A and B are shown apart, each in its own frame.
Chain A
Amino acid sequence: MKTRKKGTALLSAAIIVGTLTGATAQAQDKEFTIAVSIPAATHGWTGGVVFHAQEAEKQIEAAYPNIDVIVSTASSATAQVSSLEDLSATNTLDALVILPFTSEELTGPVEQVASNGTFITVVDRGLSDPSIQDLYVAGDNIAVGANTAEWLVEKLGGEGEIVVLRGIPTVIDDERIQGFRDVIDQSGIEILDIQYANWNQDEAFTLMQDYLAKYPNIDAVWANDDDMLLGVIEAVDQAGRTDIKYALGGNGMKQVIEMVMAGDERTPISTPYPPSMIASAIYMTAAQFAGQAPMRGSFKLDAPLITPENAEQFYFPGSPF
């Protein structure tokens, strides 16, 4: 019953579209399939990626009835390779939007798909061979670290003692730390300690407790991800320490953006590394086909500071992240 209803709705939608676009029906007749391959929601950020990919799928399919978007999630690099094989075996792909689990393992399989003439959009993590991709969309991890550091240097007047919590040993983590450290080293600010907390709230809480026990004075703390920042703040509040002027994160997690919007004094800013970049990538890929707007090249999303003034633009209340 339900499917029949849906079928009728689809049919009538097609008729309406058909009559409305009667003149351009010729161009619209061709159907396009865009496959989107992304990591499954295993932590906050990838949860956001899945959310935004599904939102973009709905919006694009509503806006362009001749474009079919297929979103497929994978829980590991091997699973992603298999899902790529399945996708290209069961569909004729006009475009593939992929956020690769790892660069090395996915390069070959994506090249395979590209050899069939599929338009390739790579998101976030680059492939080992950039010549495979037609479009590259990514955030700027170095800027995430550097912009936070610049803000901190200015606010602390170029001196002070800070501690840093880093994530899981990966390129993303290395780049953020590198961008941050490069700027801090130019100033009089001393980094007392840097340790891994694996982008995990619990581990960040524990590590911050230990930092607080170890150092009697800490002017600011930077957790290179907002998930960890929530654990850090809990530890600082519980210890009742007032020497910490700033507790900063990064990534633009919903809860932290809410704090920024509310004008929190300890967390007045964040820096985006938005999971919604997957939506940017899907839209740009769709434009290539629907709008005949050329979209080849590299597109690097900036990491501007999120402040109370612009926080609204980075806030997605419906997103899990």
Chain B
Amino acid sequence: MSSAEIATVQESEGFKIRWSDLAPFIALAVIVLLGALINSNFMSSNNMMNVITRSAFIAIIGVGATFVIATGGLDLSIGSMLAFVVGIMIMAMNAMAPSLGPWAIPAGALVALVVGSLCGLMNGLITTVGRIEPFIVTLGTMGIFRALITFMTDGGSLSIDRSLRAAYRPVYFGDFLGVPYPVIITVIVALLGAFILYRTKYGRHVTAVGSNSDVARFSGVHVGRVRTMAFVIQGFCVAVAAICYVPRLGAATPTTGQLWELQVITAAVIGGTLLRGGKAHIWGTVAGALILEVIANVMVLSDMVSEYLVAAVQGAIIIIAMLAHRFTNAR
């Protein structure tokens, strides 16, 4: 009885929020329209495909970040973690290439998923068991992961074995029925994320912990476990992004994934996930990632802004998008 009640409450709530939930998509549509007006090449299928494929990394990591942020946490280490996972993956693949041949690619990908999840678990356990602010914990691990990748590359670059390069390339550049693989992977990750967040008990616990951890604890939710699990999901998503990332340039450098954490958090917040936790919007995050990538693309395609001022205009657009979001939310 009570569970049925909860279900109906949720459904009606879901319907009520829907209008404001559309805000990131409306913002995306406006920016796309703007782009089309500025340069006719913007709408060309080539450009569209490039931009959508490129946004896959931020979108995939963003799905994980949505979980962490929804529990009231924050993960600053994701950019460095990506670089670290990419480095480990390339080293693993190169080491296995002589014995396994092309099978080194799925084997390396598996290694990446395990390493990524463990990195997330580490962040989660230090945060929950050690009872330290996630901001500080992940600031620390951010430095650790960045230093490790710099160490692994000797400050230079770490390239994937030539024999694997050709076989692995299609994972980023190839497509299935015209849809690039990274886009398909993004959709699968987002579908899974949405299912876990909106359709499972764990998902309900995530938002419950984020909106009020004390109430959640009194209701019998294991707050620490929920938070830790969110970090593991984040690590897993970082590894999935790494799997899509390596075939693009085939190398890891100390600058790989630099400042991506800020882009990911921005994408999640633009998408309607509350930074203080309690409200998560998976598809909004995906839209947020697209918005960021489209803005950058439009900046290059337009000739209106001096190269020195591009970042300022990008920043202004993001703030305006957030203000518009707030405005629609208030209604």
Contacts and interface: CB of A to CB of B under 8 A. Distances in A.
Interface of A: 40-44, 46-48, 50-51, 166, 169, 193-196, 198-202, 205-207, 209-214, 227, 230-231, 234, 238-239, 254-255, 319-321
A321 B258 CA distance: 19
B301 interface: yes
Nearest to B260: A202
Given A44-B156, A195-B300, A239 B46 contact: yes
A320 B155 contact: yes
User: For A40, A207, A210, A231, which residue has the most chain B Cβ atoms within 10 angstroms?
Assistant: A210
Given A195-B310, A202-B249, A239-B46, A46 B301 contact: no
8 contacts: A47-B156, A48-B156, A51-B155, A198-B255, A201-B249, A210-B297, A213-B50, A214-B41
A260 B139 CA distance: 41
A47 B254 contact: yes
B283 to A, nearest CB: 24
Contacts, number: 103
A41 B155 contact: yes
Contact of A207 (B153, B173, B300): B300
B301 A213 contact: yes
- Main SS of the interface on chain A? helix
B254 A205 contact: no
Given A201-B253, A230-B251, A231-B249, A42 B155 contact: yes
Contacts of B42: 213
Interface string B149-169: 010011111010000000000
Contacts of A198: 255
Contacts of B50: 209-210, 213
B279 interface: no
A50 B39 contact: no
Interface of B: 39, 41-42, 44, 46-47, 50, 54, 150, 153-157, 159, 173, 248-249, 251, 253-256, 258, 296-297, 300-301, 307-308, 310
Nearest to B159: A255
A320 B153 contact: yes
B307 A206 contact: no
B254 A43 contact: yes
A241 B41 CA distance: 16
Nearest to A194: B307
Given A44-B157, A210-B297, A320-B153, A230 B254 contact: no
From B156, B173, B297, B300, residue with most partner A Cβ within 10 Å:
B156
A287 B13 CA distance: 79
Q: Which of A40, A44, A48, A166 has the most CB of B within 10 A?
A: A44
